[in-house]
Amino acid sequence: MNELKIVEGNANTISSMEVAEMIGKEHFHLMRDIKGYIQHLGESKTGLSTFFIEDTYQTNQNKTLPCYQLTKKGCEFVAHKLTGAKGAQFTAAYIERFHEMENEINANFSELSLQLQVLINIERRQKQHKIEIENVKQEVEGIKEVVALNPVEWRRETTVMINKIAKAQGGTDLIRAIRNESYDLLEKRFGVSLGIRLKNKQARLAKTGLCQSKIDKLSFLDVIQEDKKIIEGYVAIVKEMAIKYGAHQWAK
């Protein structure tokens, strides 16, 4: 089994070679996947080094090739991309490996001199503080995007934000449920029935001779569009949901 490694202040990382073995995938395939993950994380302004760290390794032919060191968060990211038993098995395997390393570090640490232990603890706290500051910066940037939702472009921007909420909660399959939740909150807070308003709007437009296919395409968003106060209320609700569900962490 490959050796666990300390890279860039991350006291627990596993090489992409070992992760590939754990999930039964060719290393070059995993490298390709990780590069795709990094591209996505880069777009979301997430600290890449808290997930994947560039590294190299020596082959048996003494060639130097690229690889990645995966932190616990990086392993968790990969695990989320796996389905069924394979995901559960990998999760159990990488958690066990990190426990092994923690035990090894603690055992070695106790053998060091008191002065050296103090210095190591200070360095650990400094690195942890740096990570926490970076995380706060990312949170602030994400929240800025949420707060900046524009009531003028509300349809497009709330749709984008609802998609991000769905991603933060597990995937695009949740978009409809998130959208319905936003409508429910709007109805409760403003005492309106979007369903009744939609039916009334459809009836009015039917009397004007509008074709049935266009009438059938009308949605609650078209109803919200008719009332400025409800637009503002809907935008506020989507903002609240974005903060609540952590969608601001997906800000580009």
Q: Is residue 52 within 8 Å of 74, Cβ to Cβ?
A: yes
Q: What percent of the chain has pLDDT over 90?
A: 31
**pLDDT tens digit string along 182-214?**
999 999 999 999 999 999 999 999 999 999 999
41: tokens are 């994380």
The Cα–Cα gap between 183 and 164 comes to 17
Quickly tell me which residue has 């506020």 as its tokens.
236
**pLDDT grade, residue 6 (50/70/90)?**
very low
Ordered DSSP codes for 119-146: HHHHHHHHHHHHHHHHHHHHHHHHHHHH
**pLDDT tens digit string along 76-98?**
989 988 877 888 889 888 888 88
**pLDDT tens digit string along 94-118?**
888 888 877 766 666 566 566 666 6
Query: Quick check: 137 pLDDT over 60?
Result: no
Please list, residue by residue across 114-126, b when 16 or more beta carbons sit within 10 angstroms of its beta carbon and e when fewer do: eeeeeeeeeeeee
Please indicate whether residue 146 or residue 23 has the higher confidence score (pLDDT).
23
Average confidence score pLDDT of the chain: 80
Q: What is the pLDDT of residue 110?
A: 61
Would the pTM count as exceeding 0.85? Answer: no
